[in-house]
Structure 1
Amino acid sequence: MKGRDIALFGVSLVAGLTGGFSLHRKKKNQPSESPLFYVGTWQFVDPHNHRHHRLEISPNLDVQIDNHPLKVRVKDLDEHQLTFQDKFGYHLTIHANERQPISFFDEADDCTYTMQPLQKPNE
């Protein structure tokens, strides 16, 4: 019985270790799809009239432009983009690099805007 228990323990140990390593590899290669990556306050310039605007994405993925809430729902989310759909069916797609959101495409205006983190007055 003792030999069988030791063998069973050894097999369990090996299975646990190899399973843990393969799980770690899968997790490491898996893209980050956290919505918190997109959360923040951003500024952008409208290329048509050169006005500065403010885009805010809250932790629950509510969207505001210039402090005006947009009625949108999340359509798609991955490590490269977050897509919202508004009540008229238009898409607002936020593109990101590996560090932060960098631009968004507004389907209603057929325009892409470059985003930058909003600078605080004392920065």
Structure 2
Amino acid sequence: MSVRISRQQWDGLLNELDIARRQRHLLTYRALLERLQLPTPAMQTLTAALEYLAVIDARAEQPLRSSLVISQGASRLPRTGFFECVERLGRFSGPSDGVAAASWHASEVVRVFEFSYPEECIS
């Protein structure tokens, strides 16, 4: 399935992630869905956009901004698909629900918080 978002929605996503990065906090998928008002299927659209952003960041050898988006559940980790994506990008290897995933995610979040993204990557 092909999903598309508008330039305004893409810019909104980048802006939400930049605010979260500067405030050093994480966002839930649900919060992003509510703020961005993506077209249906909204979760698939958001997932595709976050995976695309991960590819952009990986190619630029930057920390992955998509790591700032987590599930509401007790794990406080991104969904399994995030870990599958970062494994394809060569950034992480292992089960998505274990200690290694939680540790890698925590260190990636710190890297995002401490990184200064070039302006053209933000908007």
Q: Which of structures 1 and 2 has the larger relative contact order (alpha carbons within 8 angstroms, sep 6+)?
A: 2
TM-score, normalised to structure 2, is 0.24
TM-score by length of structure 1 reads 0.24
Higher-strand-fraction structure: 1
